[in-house]
Chains A and B, each alone.
Chain A
Amino acid sequence: MIEQRKLRVATVSLAGCFGCHMSFLDIDEHLFELLERIEFDRSPLTDIKHCGPCDIGLVEGGVCNAENVHVLREFRANCRTLVALGACAINGGLPAQRNHLDIGACLDEVYRSRPGLARAQVPNDPELPLLLDKVHPIHEVVRVDYFLPGCPPSGEAIWKFLSDLVNGRTPRVTGPLLHFD
């Protein structure tokens, strides 16, 4: 039998706006119920910097730079179940609107050609992650187990999804929970 222990959950925001995390917090008092069944690993809620072995990873946002790739790979390597949470993780979302532009031209426009820039050059500090030429949905970079659409998915949708997952049911989010207009 599978031992009855708390499930470890990690969450992260890559190229996202934290809106999906805010929506997660919108499950309000369900958080208490949830915390009886789960505990958090790496997450903006815990400030743990690196993900350890987890049961569930929730990823908000797409992949726009090298650091996103490393973090996402860390999640995939550690999480039994990886979830793409929200439109950006699933499709690239808003950040992917830059995909029809040349990233070099973007950097040039922002850092070099604007009037009034003194020592105009593109920042090259090795601390800064390099940008990918395109923003990718997370499933184009690692294998993803579940997708929860919405911008952001509503608190109810996230609650339904997580309670299914925690209770061993294949998540089913249907009907009004998936209607966005």
Chain B
Amino acid sequence: MTTEVPQSLIDEVLTAVGSTPDRLLQILVGLQSRLDYLPPALISRLAARLGIARARVEGVAGFYSFLHLAPAGRYRVRFSDNIVDRMLGSEALSEAMCARLGVRPGELSEDGRVMISTTSCTGMGDQGPALLVNDRAIGRLDPQRVSEICDLILHDTPLAAWPPELFAIDDNIRRADALLTSHLAPGSALAAAMALGREGWLAQVQASRLRGRGGAGFTTAVKWLACRDAPGERKVVVCNADEGEPGTFKDRVLLHRHAELVFEGMTLAAWATGAREGFLYLRGEYAWLRPRLEAVLAARRAAGLLGAGILGATGFDFDIAIHLGAGAYVCGEETSLLESLEGKRGTPRIRPPFPVTHGYLGHPTVVNNVETLAKTCLIARDGGAAFAASGTAQSAGTKLLSISGDCARPGVYEYPFGVSIQQVLDDCGAVDVLAVQVGGASGVTIAPYEFHRRIAFEDVPSAGAFMVFDSSRDIFEVARNFVHFFAHESCGFCTPCRVGTALLKGYMDKLADGHGALQDLADIDWLDRLLKNASHCGLGSSAPNPVVDTLLKFRPAYERRIQHADFQPAFDLDGALARAREMTGRDDAGAHLDSGTGVIR
């Protein structure tokens, strides 16, 4: 493999995506997809070309897991490692693929052809096990499909020539309500809002009591007003399509099936705030959606729904650019997302100031979830009061749930807020349920005694994930999978989270490996509190949630793993002397250690 990168290729990418430092991530993503990795010489040349320090370029490239500074193969296969994919057999399939292709997990094959590894949830829980190969997604894996993929790789078939059927992704919409049945003609919601004037439109958004669907549940109208009123002429609208929360995939379906609604919602936000620029921040796992999305944008420009003088209104200029992420869950956090949009490492900012006053490049910025923005189309069409008429007192409208795990009919379900968890379980065909993880890894673990509770901000809030576990599952392993996820995705910026998630993972592994001691439960408690209280951003503060909840509601799953009263090392002390015994030839009593005390029998 040559590390000589032709100048023409660099020029091509820079021309396509821009050549200023704030475009750095997009440049690296573009080069990665053409070159398979980013050789050191290229990093140096880019730094010189953009006039920034080499360390900055390398720092950005090193932050994102889909960018590679060393050869990573012409085929980069990543198995989705969410617990739901595992329950569907992803580990055995990945082993089979490694065996067939003669590679070890996470290592480049000797011929430089392929690397097989895992990645955090790829947003395909309804049709797992799933994997990504380069920037394409494949779901519904089974031994046959895996073997077909191996054949294609062994024959060096270019991805573009793989059978399209392999890449077919289902929407799996199982229950449609107001949003998924809306059938709005492109531009109709926008025309309705424009007829109200900017003030009148904002009044309707206020009346709708719409709250954000991305997790925090902030009132959308308040955010829009704050951005509109913030000092500075240049306003920005950002759609958060990072959807990294394990078990969530409803934004994928909205972008696949209803991209019009999402872009129209962004344009409605622009009408309210006076923004002229918009960005869709699309997670790298969904890069395969990009061509379709670009086509929708082009059609909207052609129809006068984007660009200068939208729908003939002088001064209403707004356009949308798509930015790709590159495999970093933390970039879903809005300030980290903004850093990433600016071409930097996705390190969360200190707040305040909030994005509504100091956002993208310091300009007042609205960041909204895909679903939030799509919902605004309904408000424009039906009015705020009609929107507020469904749902509950504090949670107006409907919510899309991404349902996966042990149920007969996984997929996307749209319900008015206030639906009970039991109702959802009945509808998706879940029986003998042990637990439901609502809101993803950072959400809450719900036990059967709580199934009467309702999905709503005032009871069980949810960013959309709904993972079902039946009684054949080990809830400890579920929590351990999530803890591994957080440790992997911690951005490393603050010590409580960087070290705390690694320690928590260590304790969970210690219990799993049969070294569990009572003291570990006390240490886990202490770590949970530390993470919750001392972390810089929401990733660290919600990282202990699955452990806190399962310890509270499923404590026996932990207690069963306690082998020792008091304390037990995580490693085998006698085994740690083996090498020295070998070197000295000793085997006397003093050359051994008993490996622990206080074993519970």
Contact = CB atoms under 8 A, between A and B. Distances in A.
A143 B519 contact: yes
Interface in B554-601: 566-567, 569-571, 573, 576-586, 588, 590-591, 593, 597
Contact of B586 (A104, A124, A132, A141): A124
A122 to B, nearest CB: 5
A77 to B, nearest CB: 9
Interface string B53-69: 00000000000000000
B579 A104 contact: yes
A142 B567 CA distance: 6
A69 interface: yes
Given A66-B590, A133-B578, A141 B583 contact: no
Contact of B571 (A103, A108, A140): A140
A131 B569 CA distance: 17
A17 interface: no
A66 B583 contact: no
Contacts of B571: 136, 140
A32 to B, nearest CB: 36
A141 B566 contact: no
Contact of A124 (B573, B576, B585): B585
Majority secondary structure of chain A interface residues (helix, strand, loop or mixed): mixed
A130 to B, nearest CB: 4
B519 A66 contact: no
Contact of B591 (A107, A130, A141): A130
B591 A133 contact: no
Contact of B580 (A73, A133, A136): A133
A159 to B, nearest CB: 26
Nearest to B578: A133
A55 to B, nearest CB: 19
B580 A131 contact: yes
A126 interface: yes
B566 A130 contact: no
Given A102-B579, A143-B567, A126 B593 contact: no
A126 B580 contact: no
Chain A interface category by residue count:
20 to 34
Given A103-B579, A141-B573, 16 more contacts: A102-B579, A103-B583, A104-B579, A107-B583, A108-B583, A123-B584, A126-B586, A130-B580, A130-B590, A130-B591, A131-B577, A132-B580, A133-B576, A136-B569, A140-B571, A143-B566
B375 to A, nearest CB: 48
A104 B578 CA distance: 10
A126 B578 CA distance: 15
A134 interface: yes
Contacts of B567: 142-143
Given A141-B569, A143-B519, A143-B566, A122 B584 contact: yes
Contact of A66 (B569, B570, B585, B593): B593
Contacts of A69: 573, 593
Interface in B459-511: none
Interface string B371-390: 00000000000000000000
A73 B519 CA distance: 16
Contacts of B569: 136, 140-141
Most buried by B among A102, A130, A136: A130
The 8 closest A-B pairs by CB, nearest first: A124-B584, A143-B567, A130-B580, A132-B576, A107-B583, A131-B580, A104-B579, A122-B583
A134 B572 CA distance: 12
A123 B585 CA distance: 10
Nearest to B571: A140
Contact of A130 (B519, B570, B581, B597): B581
A122 B585 CA distance: 9
B580 A107 contact: yes
A175 to B, nearest CB: 17
Nearest to B582: A104
Contacts of A103: 579-580, 583
